[in-house]
Amino acid sequence: MSVPPRFLMVAPTHYNVSYSINPWMDPGRWRQDPQGMHAQAQAASAALCQALQGTGAEVELAPGSAGLPDMVFPANSAVVLDGKALLSRFRHPERRAEEERFLAIFKALQAKGLLREVAQLPPGCFQEGAGDCVWDATRQQFWGGFGPRSSRQALAAIASHFGHEVVPLELTSSRCYHLDVCFCVLSGGEIFYLPEALTPEALRTLRTRVDERLLIEASEDDLVHFSLNAVCVGRHIVMSRCTPALRERLQGRGYTVVEVDLSPFMLSGGSAYCMSLRLDWQSQAFAAGAQSPGTVAKHY
């Protein structure tokens, strides 16, 4: 029996763009047509859910909360690996009340048997979940973004909690406020990234650790289309928009791009990757030790 990939999404019932905590957020644009935008957001979220299911994944849909519009980005709520969820500490007061709501959501996932453990980072540091801490199944390590949102000191806490290295990558630009806006790990071990978003030291780290044949440089177009904020499941890459040039490059490496128009969420600075949180990642060490007989974990 194989385990399908599983993602958490949050229903967009309470989604809107009513404040601005990153340069992409445009409450004025939302206010021009709140009802129309909301309807578009509902449709876009449903389309993403379907696209993920189309790759063979399962989706858990959790409810959002009134007054917390950014809960639709659950990748910011926790880092998850080996059945353990480590919950975030948000930098901006606008998002802090999400911590408590997500704690309840993760406890419910634990009660359903989808997680083994739920823990919170100690207060006093900032860390915005898988948006700033990306699991690399090929290298069996995390890439940890820090700077605009997450603090560097949180990376050590994540490493000791999961028993896996977190390689620090400092972010330079406010447009790339989370690592997942400018950095995407593909299932074949390729890293699709925007060089300008990383400090010279972070670039050196990346280029030392990853063979240059596996590095795919993104363009400004890819950034503004949120093409890097993508979900890779097997040979499928789900993303909001893709230029023909990018599609061709990714096809050349054996990937099929699945486009889903997520523009109502791009207006908040998010897209496919941060609208979904992968719940089933397992490290090889854990899978080797904890497999029940007859269960084979898939590694994407």
- Which among 56-64, 153-161, 176-184, 196-204 is the span making contact with ligand ARG, rule CB under 6 A? 176-184
Parallel, antiparallel or unpaired: strands 6-10 and 277-278: antiparallel
With CB under 6 A as the contact rule, the residue among 9, 45, 70, 175 that binds ligand ARG is 70
With CB under 6 A as the contact rule, the residue among 8, 10, 25, 134 that binds ligand ARG is 25
Identity of the residue, 81 or 133, whose beta carbon is nearer to ligand ARG in the bound complex: 133
Contact between 15 and ligand ARG per CB under 6 A: no
Which residues have CB under 8 Å from 9's CB, separation 6+?
45, 48, 49, 52, 59, 60, 61, 62, 72, 74, 275, 276, 277
With CB under 6 A as the contact rule, the residue among 270, 277, 282, 283 that binds ligand ARG is 270
Of 133, 232, 242, 274, the active-site residue reads 274
With CB under 6 A as the contact rule, the residue among 83, 144, 147, 269 that binds ligand ARG is 269
Give the whole-angstrom CA distance, residue 279 versus residue 47. Answer: 20
Identity of the residue, 18 or 110, whose beta carbon is nearer to ligand ARG in the bound complex: 18
Q: Catalytic residue at 178?
A: yes
Q: The tokens 């280029």 sit on which residue?
A: 207
Q: Where would I find the beta strands (DSSP E) of 23-158?
A: 58-62, 78-81, 84-87, 117-120, 133-136, 141-146
Q: Catalytic residue at 236?
A: no
Token readout for 300 is 């994407």
Contact 70, 58 (CB under 8 A): no
Contact between 180 and ligand ARG per CB under 6 A: yes
Q: Which residue, judged by CB position, is nearest to ligand ARG in the bound state?
A: 131
Footprint on residues 74-113 left by ligand ARG (CB under 6 A): 75-76, 95
Q: Is the dihedral of CA 268, 271, 277, 282 positive or negative?
A: negative
Contact between 147 and ligand ARG per CB under 6 A: no
The residue type at 34:
P
Q: Which residues bind ligand ARG (CB under 6 A)?
A: 21-22, 25, 70, 73, 75-76, 95, 131, 178, 180-181, 229, 268-270, 274
